[in-house]
Amino acid sequence: MIAIIDYGVGNLFSLKSSFAAIDIDAVITHDEKIIKNADHIILPGVGAFKEAISKLYDSGMDEVLKREIAAGKPVMGICLGMQLLVDKSFEHGEFEGLKLIDGTCVSIQSGDAKNLKIPHMGWNALDFDYSCPIFKYINQKDAVYFVHSYHVRDCNNVVATTEYGNKLTAAIAKDNLFGCQFHPEKSGQVGLNILRAFSEV
Amino acid sequence: MITKRIIPCLDVRNGRVVKGTNFEGLRDVDDPVELAEFYSNSGADELVFYDITASSEGRKIFTDVLTNTAKHVFIPLTVGGGINTTADFERVLACGADKVSVNSGAIKNPQLVNDAAKIYGNQCVVLSVDVKRVDGVFRVFAKGGRENTGMDAIEWIKKCVDSGAGEVVVNSIDTDGVKKGFDLEMLNAVCEAVNVPIIASGGAGCIEDFITLFKTLPKVDAGLAASIFHFGTVEISDLKSEMKKNNIPVRLL
């Protein structure tokens, strides 16, 4: 069973539906017992970093999450849920993240990419590391759906990138911890294949 | 490289898909959930659902349609029609919508764009504008294209993007239903004015119209159409192979 953590952020309906579409039991929950009993955990998230990290702390889910990660349970952060895993974010200020993977979240418009349209919204191709188990059912350059204005930089655990002006971080992974900047639940069959592979980690 | 998106639009009334020509003379086409699945399997990059029912009963049927679609279709869903408050955003987002498009609701209450962007993020707020030339000036029309608001369309779009609209659907009333191609002049004016994704709508009659659109205006991110897809005049898989042949970045299944 997959626990999709509900801490008051984002639309979880599609995530739950996509697991249902691949015959995997998933529950939307903030119940510590259910999360503890789950085989895998999804940390979702949309919106702004500051609000999301505050809600995560307020709900106490940060502690639950850290305990489960330490116990070796596979966890996947999606979109903002991935960004919360790194050291800090510069979205509308400077805020500390969960510091579970090194990295900093910065605007994709930085440097010589000032004229890029934001958000980076639409389908873009993945260049990924074959050794990462969540990509075992997809092909290089398969397109997935992105919607974001910030991305993770200065991270030694990047496992997938995409081209948008510069090379953007599309996924990160460290041991049992995974993060996708794109939305697998909105990426058609390719996305479902990534969720299925994650559920088998 | 980010791909150009192809977006079928489904106007839904009483749980059925309808499409008008020049916004009048609606005609039944198909079951929305079935059609949505068909489009997703054919390579559509996104779907737009417009709720054109007026009654609260119709609203309920619409959200049921949306819920059923989101259970089976795993590409982004944008919902528009009857969005006047942030509560309307909440209502459709809870049923599986990813983005919400505002049109008349924003004209009546421009603060709506700002309020919704603050709560749900800019990426969630799509500004949809019906534009028509009046004495050589692009004007914003309301009420499904029937009423001239007198507002300058470019100024209006700029204002809404500044307030937090993360994407703009430009629907040219002048070319809508005519099937002689997108309104390149109007779209170019919008592309020059704002730096968010732009979706072209109104006027596509054949595959070549999409090729011309993306070749002429590289800043346009997506092409939206309804009847040509519903009636099978253009098959999405054919359209995308043709885009690929023309070196337009495209997602192939």
Look at residues A20, A82, A91, A104 and name the one whose alpha carbon lies nearest to residue A51: A91
- Provide mean pLDDT across the span A69-78: 97
- Provide mean pLDDT across the span A43-65: 91
Residue B191, in any domain of the structure: yes
Number of compact structural domains in chain A: 1
Contact B6, B210 (CB under 8 A): yes
Q: Is the pLDDT of residue B25 over 70?
A: no
Q: Is the pLDDT of residue A10 over 90?
A: no
- Provide mean pLDDT across the span B52-58: 77
Domain that holds residue B89: 5-245
What would the pLDDT profile of A24-44 be if each residue is shown by its tens digit? 999 999 999 999 999 999 999
The pairing of strands A127-128 and A158-164 is antiparallel
ipTM: 0.92
Band (pLDDT 50/70/90 cuts) for residue A48 is confident
Least confident of A36-40, A184-188, B30-34, B245-249: B30-34
Cα B52 to Cα A1, A149, B69, B118, B135, distances in angstroms: 39, 32, 17, 26, 30
The per-residue pLDDT for A112 is 67
What would the pLDDT profile of A120-144 be if each residue is shown by its tens digit? 999 999 999 999 999 999 999 999 9
CB atoms within 10 A of CB B87: 8
Nearest to A121 among B40, B75, B197 (CB): B197
Look at residues B118, B72, B76, B73 and name the one whose alpha carbon lies nearest to residue B93: B76
- Higher-pLDDT residue of B211 and B95 is B211
Q: Is the pLDDT of residue B50 over 80?
A: yes
Cα B202 to Cα B128, B180, B190, distances in angstroms: 12, 9, 15
The per-residue pLDDT for A4 is 97
The per-residue pLDDT for B154 is 98
Residue B205, in any domain of the structure: yes
Cα B175 to Cα B130, B171, B178, B228, distances in angstroms: 11, 8, 5, 14
Residue B170, in any domain of the structure: yes
What average pLDDT does the structure give for chain A? 94
CATH number of the domain bearing residue A38? 3.40.50.880
What would the pLDDT profile of B68-100 be if each residue is shown by its tens digit? 999 999 999 999 999 999 999 999 998 889 999
- Provide mean pLDDT across the span B204-208: 97
Nearest to A121 among B72, B96, B123 (CB): B123
- Provide mean pLDDT across the span B189-206: 96
Number of compact structural domains in chain B: 1
Q: Which residues of A have a CB under 8 Å from any CB of B?
A: 11, 13-14, 17-18, 20-21, 46-48, 115, 117-125, 143, 145-149, 163-164, 185-189, 191-192
Cα A89 to Cα A106, A187, B112, distances in angstroms: 6, 25, 28
Band (pLDDT 50/70/90 cuts) for residue A109 is confident
Q: Does B3 touch chain A (CB under 8 A)?
A: yes
Q: Taking CB atoms and an 8 Å cutoff, what residues of chain A touch B75? A: 145, 186-188
The per-residue pLDDT for B126 is 97
Within chain A, strands assigned E span 2-5, 26-29, 40-43, 75-78, 88-89, 95-96, 104-107, 120-125, 127-128, 143-148, 150-153, 158-164, 166-174, 177-180
Task: Tell me the Ramachandran region of residue A141: left when phi exceeds 0, alpha when psi lies from -120 to 50, beta otherwise.
Answer: left
Look at residues A177, A78, A190 and name the one whose alpha carbon lies nearest to residue A125: A190
- B77, B78, B99, B123, best to mutate vs chain A, most A CBs in 10 Å: B123
CATH number of the domain bearing residue B225? 3.20.20.70
Distance from CA of B47 to the nearest CA of A (A): 11
CB atoms within 10 A of CB B7: 25
Q: Is the pLDDT of residue B22 over 80?
A: no
Nearest to A122 among B3, B71, B94 (CB): B3
Label residue A110 exposed, middle or buried (CB < 10 Å: 0-12, 13-18, 19+).
middle
Contact A43, A15 (CB under 8 A): no
DSSP codes, A52-94: HHHHHHHHTHHHHHHHHHHTT--EEEETHHHHTTSSEE-TTS-
The β-bridge partners of B140 are: B131
Band (pLDDT 50/70/90 cuts) for residue B19 is low
The per-residue pLDDT for B172 is 97
Domain that holds residue A77: 2-199
Residue B250, in any domain of the structure: no
Distance from CA of B75 to the nearest CA of A (A): 4
Query: pTM for the complete prediction?
Result: 0.93
Residue B251, in any domain of the structure: no
The per-residue pLDDT for B54 is 67
The per-residue pLDDT for B23 is 41
Please answer yes or no on whether A189 and B197 come within 8 Å at the CB atom: no
Residue B252, in any domain of the structure: no
Residues of A recognised as catalytic: 79, 183, 185
Band (pLDDT 50/70/90 cuts) for residue B230 is confident
The per-residue pLDDT for B3 is 97
Q: Does B222 touch chain A (CB under 8 A)?
A: yes
Band (pLDDT 50/70/90 cuts) for residue B112 is very high
The per-residue pLDDT for A145 is 97
What average pLDDT does the structure give for chain B? 92
Q: Does B121 touch chain A (CB under 8 A)?
A: yes
Least confident of A44-58, A68-82, B10-24: B10-24
